[in-house]
Chains A and B, each alone.
Chain A
Amino acid sequence: MLVKELEKRLKVFGIIAIIAFCLLTTRLGYLQIIKGEEYKDLAEGNRIRLIPQPAPRGLVFDRNGVLLIGNRPAFSVSVMQITSKEDFENTLLKLGEILGITKEEIDERIKQQNRRSFEPIKIATDVDLTTITKIEEQKVGLTGVIIDTEPIRYYPYKDLATHVLGYVGEINAKELEKKKQEGKDYQIGDIIGKMGIEQCLDEELKGVRGGKRVEVDVKGNLISTQGEVIPTPGNQVKLTIDLKVQQAAENGLVEIMDTISRQYPNAKTGAVVAMDVNTGEILALASKPGFDLNLFAGRMTPEQLNEINNNPLKPYNNRAISSAYPPGSTFKPITALAGLRKGTVTPNEYFYDSGVYYVGRHPFRCWKRTGHGSVNLVDGLKHSCNIVFYEIAMRTGIDDIAVMAREFGLGEKTGIILPGEAQGIVPDTKWKEEAYKKGITRYATWFKGDTANAAIGQGDHLYTPIQLVRMTAAIANGGKVFEPQLVSAIIDNNGQETFRMSPKIVKQASVSQEHLAIIRQGMKAVTSEGGTAGSAFRGFPIQVAGKTGTAQNAHGDNHAWFVGYAPADNPQIAVAVLVEQGGSGSTAAAPVARRVFEAFFNIQSDQAELNLDFNAVE
Chain B
Amino acid sequence: MRRRRQKKAPDMVMFLTVITLLSIGVVMVFSASQVTAFVRNGDCYYYLKRQLLWSLIALGVMVVVMKIDYWIIKKFSKLIFFGSFLLLIAVLIPGIGRESHGASRWIPLGSFSLQPSEIAKFALIIYVSLLLEKKQAQIGSFFKGLLPVLLIAGVVGGLILLQPDLGTAFTAMATVGVMLFAAGAKFGHLLGLAASALPLLYIAITSEDYRKRRFLAFLDPWSDPLDTGFHIIQSLYALGSGGLFGVGLGRSRQKLFYLPEQHTDSIFAIIGEELGFIGVTFVVLLFFLFAWRGYKIAITAPDFFSSMLAVGVTSLITFQAIINMGVVTASLPVTGIPLPLISYGGSSLLFTLAGVGILLNISRYTEQK
Using a CB–CB cutoff of 8 Å, the interface residues on chain A facing chain B are: 2-3, 5-7, 9-10, 12-14, 17-18, 20-21, 23-25, 27-29, 31-33, 35-40, 42-43, 46-47, 81, 84-85, 88, 117, 217-219, 223
Checking B182, B225, B240, B277 against A38 with a beta-carbon cut-off of 8 angstroms, the contacting residue is B240
Q: How far is the CA of A219 from the CA of B280 in the complex (A)?
A: 28
The answer to whether B227 touches A43 (Cβ under 8 A) is no
Q: Which residues of B contact A17 (CB under 8 A)?
A: 288, 291-292, 295, 318, 322
Q: Which residues of B contact A2 (CB under 8 A)?
A: 136, 184, 304
Q: Are B240 and A32 in contact (CB under 8 A)?
A: yes
Say yes or no: A25 contacts B237, CB within 8 Å.
no
Chain A residues whose C-beta falls within 8 Å of the C-beta of B281 in the assembled complex: 25, 28
B141 at the interface (CB under 8 A from A): no
- Knowing A10-B311, A24-B322, A32-B280 are in contact, say whether A84-B226 is a contact too (CB < 8 A): yes
- Whether A35 contacts B240 by the Cβ 8 Å rule is yes
Of A5, A14, A43, the most chain B CB neighbours within 10 A belong to A43
How far is it, in angstroms, between the C-alpha of A25 and the C-alpha of B285 when the chains are bound? 9
CA A35 – CA B181 in complex, angstroms?
39
B236 proximal to A (CB < 8 A): yes
Chain B residues 236-255 with CB under 8 Å of chain A are: 236-244, 253-254
Q: Which of A14, A38, A47 meets B295, CB within 8 Å?
A: A14
Option from B182, B226, B285, B329 in Cβ contact (under 8 Å) with A31: B329
Once the chains bind, are B258 and A32 in contact (CB under 8 Å)? no
State the Cβ distance, A10 to closest chain B Cβ, in Å: 5
Chain A binding surface SS class: helix
Interface string of B22-56 (1 = CB under 8 A from A): 00000000000000000000000000000000000
B117 at the interface (CB under 8 A from A): no
B58 at the binding interface (Cβ < 8 Å): no
Partner of A9, one of B184, B226, B276, B288: B184
- Nearest to B258 among chain A residues (CB) is A218
A-B contact pairs, 15 of them (CB 8 A): A3-B369, A9-B181, A17-B288, A17-B318, A21-B285, A25-B284, A28-B280, A31-B272, A36-B240, A36-B242, A36-B243, A47-B258, A217-B257, A218-B258, A223-B256
Cβ of B299: which chain A residues have Cβ within 8 Å of it? 3, 6-7, 10
Return the chain B residue nearest A88 by Cβ.
B226
Minimum CB–CB distance for A608 against chain B, Å: 73
B230 at the interface (CB under 8 A from A): yes
A84 / chain B contacts, CB cutoff of 8 Å = 226-227, 230
| A6–B182 touching, CB < 8 Å | yes
Among residues of A, the one whose C-beta sits closest to the C-beta of B35 is A217
Identity of the chain A residue whose Cβ is nearest the Cβ of B367 in the assembled complex? A3
B280-321 with Cβ < 8 A to chain A: 280-281, 284-285, 287-288, 291-292, 295, 298-299, 304, 307, 311, 315, 318
Give chain B residues whose Cβ lies under 8 Å from the Cβ of A14.
Answer: 291-292, 295
* A117-B226 contact in complex given A28-B329, A219-B257, C-beta closer than 8 Å: yes
The minimal Cβ–Cβ distance linking A344 to chain B, given in whole angstroms, is: 83
CB distance from B84 to the nearest CB of A (A): 25
Assess whether B241 is in contact with A36, with CB atoms less than 8 Å apart. yes
Contact (Cβ within 8 A) A21 B226: no
In Å, the complex CA distance between A7 and B301 comes to 11
Q: Tell me, yes or no, whether B223 is within 8 Å of chain A by CB.
A: no
In the complex the two chains form, is B258's CB within 8 Å of A28's CB? no
Of A9, A13, A33, A46, the residue contacting B277 (CB under 8 A) is A33
- Enumerate the 8 nearest inter-chain pairs by beta-carbon distance, A residue then B residue, closest first: A39-B240, A43-B237, A218-B257, A217-B256, A36-B243, A32-B277, A40-B241, A218-B258
Would A24 and B241 be within 8 Å (CB), given that A10-B295, A218-B256, A223-B256 are in contact? no
Q: For the complex, give the distance between the alpha carbons of A114 and B361 in Å.
A: 62
Q: Is the CB of A10 within 8 A of B298?
A: yes
Given contacts A10-B298, A21-B287, A84-B226, contact A40 B331 (CB under 8 A): no
The residues of B that contact A6 with a CB separation of less than 8 Å are 182, 184, 298-299, 307
Is B311 touching A39 in the complex (CB atoms < 8 A)?
Answer: no
* B57 within 8 A of partner (CB): no
B253 touches A47 (CB 8 A): yes
* Chain A contacts for B298, CB-based, 8 A: 6, 10
Once bound together, how far apart are the Cα atoms of A512 and B307, in whole Å? 125
Query: Which chain A residues border B237 with CB–CB below 8 Å?
Result: 39-40, 42-43, 46
Contact B284 A39 (CB under 8 A): no
Closest to A32 in B: B277
Residue numbers in A under 8 Å from B276 (CB-CB) = 32
Q: Which of B254, B284, B315 contacts A21 (CB 8 A)?
A: B284
B325 within 8 Å of A (CB atoms)? yes
Instruction: Tell me how many residue pairs across A and B have CB atoms closer than 8 Å.
Output: 133
Partner of A13, one of B227, B257, B295, B326: B295
Inter-chain CA distance A223–B253, complex, in Å, is 11
B36 to chain A, nearest CB (A): 11
Chain A min CB distance to B229 (Å): 11
Q: Say yes or no: A27-B329 contact (C-beta < 8 A), given A43-B237, A218-B256, A219-B257.
A: yes
10 additional A-B residue pairs with CB within 8 Å, beyond A25-B284, A31-B330: A13-B181, A13-B182, A14-B292, A17-B322, A31-B329, A32-B244, A33-B277, A46-B234, A117-B225, A219-B257
Give Cα A39 to B230, complex, Å.
Answer: 14
Residue B178 interfacial (CB < 8 Å): yes
A10-B299, A81-B226 are contacts. A27–B331 as well, Cβ < 8 Å?
Answer: yes
Chain B residues contacting A43 (CB-CB under 8 Å) are 237-238, 240-241, 253-254, 258
Q: Are B242 and A9 in contact (CB under 8 A)?
A: no
Which residues of chain B come closer than 8 Å to A88, judged between CB atoms? Answer: 226
Tell me, in angstroms, the Cα distance from A21 to B242 when the chains sit together: 20
CB distance from A32 to the nearest CB of B (A): 4
Residue of A nearest to B184 (CB): A5
Which among A5, A33, A85 is the interface contact of B243 at CB below 8 angstroms?
A33
Known: A24-B326, A31-B329. A42 touches B240 (CB 8 A): yes
> Which residues in B have their C-beta under 8 angstroms from that of A35?
236, 240
CB-defined contacts of A21 to chain B, threshold 8 Å: 284-285, 287-288, 291, 322
Check A32/B243 contact, CB under 8 A, given A14-B292, A24-B325, A217-B256: yes
The CA of A282 and the CA of B363, in the complex, are separated in Å by 102
Q: Are A31 and B307 in contact (CB under 8 A)?
A: no
Docked Cα-Cα span, A15 to B330, in Å, equals: 23
Of the candidates B230, B242, B256, B318, which one forms a contact with A32 in the assembled complex, judged by CB atoms under 8 Å apart?
A: B242
Instruction: Give CA–CA (A117, B233) in the complex, Å.
Output: 13
Min distance, Cβ B17 to any Cβ of chain A, angstroms: 14
CA of A425 to CA of B278 in the docked complex: distance in angstroms?
84
Please report the C-alpha to C-alpha distance between residue A88 and residue B242 in the assembled complex, in whole angstroms. Answer: 30
Point out the residues of chain A lying under 8 angstroms from B243, CB to CB: 32-33, 36-37, 40
Give the Cβ gap from B192 to chain A, nearest Cβ, in Å: 18
Among residues of A, the one whose C-beta sits closest to the C-beta of B244 is A33
Q: How many angstroms between the C-alpha atoms of A2 and B242 in the bound complex?
A: 47
Question: Which residues of chain B from 95 to 111 have any CB-CB distance to chain A below 8 Å in the complex?
Answer: none
Is the beta-carbon distance between B227 and A39 smaller than 8 angstroms? no
Q: Are B272 and A28 neighbours in the complex by a CB distance under 8 Å?
A: yes
Complex Cα distance A166/B185, Å?
Answer: 87
A40 and B240 form a contact (CB under 8 A) = yes
B320, chain A: closest CB distance, angstroms: 13
- Shortest C-beta distance, A25 to chain B (Å), equals 5
User: Across the interface, do A32 and B331 meet the contact criterion of CB distance under 8 Å?
Assistant: no
- Whose C-beta in chain B lies nearest to the C-beta of A31? B239
* Distance between Cα atoms of A35 and B236 in the complex (Å): 9
Given the known interface contacts A3-B369, A28-B272, the answer about A13 and B240 at a Cβ–Cβ threshold of 8 Å is no
Kindly list chain A residues whose C-beta atoms are within 8 Å of the C-beta of B311.
10
Contacts of A9 in B (CB 8 A): 181-182, 184
A218: chain B residues at CB < 8 Å are 256-258
Write out the residue numbers on chain A whose beta carbons fall within 8 Å of the beta carbon of B234: 46
Q: Return chain A residues, CB-CB under 8 Å to B181.
A: 9, 12-13
Interface centre among B136, B178, B244, B253, by most A CB within 10 Å? B253
Interchain CA distance A123-B237 in the complex, whole Å: 30
CA distance in complex: A38, B241 (Å): 9
